[in-house]
Amino acid sequence: MAKEALIVIDIQNDFCPGGALAVDRGDEVVPLINELIRRFDHVILTQDWHPAGHSSFASSHPGKAAFETVTMPYGEQTLWPDHCVQGTPGAEFHAGLEWTKAELVLRKGFRKTIDSYSAFFENDHSTPTGLSGYLRERGVEKVTLAGLATDFCVAYSALDARRQGFDATVILEASRGIDISGSVAAMTEKMRAAGVELV
């Protein structure tokens, strides 16, 4: 397992029931992910970490509502309710997540003018988070991903892992999707086409 790493995506209060951008049944993945954490030698967590007034928030675009789409300098952007604002309870990891074993917590989305779904790149697909270099320096060749949400941060991370030359597996039962207009099916197909193993 030494050449493998588990990447746990955004198990944060705002993505769980009762949160600002709750994924349906999002908290159900916590015990499954705790089991995965116990099995892997290398564990990395991502944490959505937005400054207040982030450009991906609908509240930053007068007259726009959450889940509408706008065009940003880097392309299409879904607008979200304010969520995972730095230092707020909503940005904290779910209380049931046994994450102390994690060797890296990667914060993303902290640049005010660009959103970040992927653990590897900002949404411009060119600004790296540094994760690829970190994994390579540690000799990791294969990543397994799970978390929230299947059709956004999990899928984008898995696709970028493949683009960066890593073998990638997504544990679907330990992930949950938002599913905007069939986005789970669309992103599942994209992952499959890119050579991501779906379990």
pLDDT per residue as tens digits for the range 106-120? 999 999 999 999 999
Reading the block at residue 117, the tokens are 């779904």
Residue-wise pLDDT tens digits, 44-65:
999 999 999 999 999 999 999 9
In the predicted structure, residue 1 carries a pLDDT above the cut 70: no
The percent of residues above 90 in pLDDT, for the chain, comes to 99
d(CA 81, CA 95): 22
Q: What is the mean pLDDT of residues 164-183?
A: 96
Contact (CB, 8 A) for 104 and 44? yes
84 is a catalytic site residue: no
- What predicted TM-score, i.e. pTM, was given to this entire model? 0.96
The DSSP call for residue 150 is I
108 is a catalytic site residue: yes
43 three-class SS: strand
d(CA 74, CA 127): 11
Residue type, 154: V
Residue type, 98: E
> 183-193 and 155-163 helices cross at what angle (nearest 10)?
20
**Which pLDDT belongs to residue 43?**
98
Q: Which of 16, 115, 151, 153 is the catalytic position? A: 153
Q: What is the mean pLDDT of residues 63-72?
A: 96
**Which pLDDT belongs to residue 119?**
98
**Which pLDDT belongs to residue 142?**
98
What value does the CA radius of gyration of the chain take, rounded to a whole number of Å?
16
In the predicted structure, residue 2 carries a pLDDT above the cut 90: no
Contact (CB, 8 A) for 163 and 139? no
Q: Which of 10, 48, 82, 115 is the catalytic position? A: 10
Band the pLDDT of 182: cuts 50, 70, 90. very high
**Which pLDDT belongs to residue 80?**
97
20 three-class SS: coil
167 to each of 27, 151, 162, how far by Cα in Å? 27, 19, 6
d(CA 9, CA 108): 11
10 is a catalytic site residue: yes
Contact (CB, 8 A) for 34 and 98? yes
Sign (positive/negative) of CA torsion 195, 184, 16, 115?
Answer: positive
Residues 6+ apart with CB under 8 A from 110: 49, 50, 51, 86, 116
Q: Which of 138, 131, 176 is nearest to 15 (CA)?
A: 176
Instruction: Tell me the average pLDDT of the chain.
Output: 96
Q: Which of 14, 84, 108, 151 is the catalytic position? A: 108
Q: What is the mean pLDDT of residues 82-92?
A: 98
Find how far residue 60's CA is from the centre of its chain: 22
Helices (H), 50-178: 131-137, 155-163
In the predicted structure, residue 41 carries a pLDDT above the cut 80: yes
Q: How many CB atoms lie within 10 A of CB 186?
A: 14
**Which pLDDT belongs to residue 66?**
95
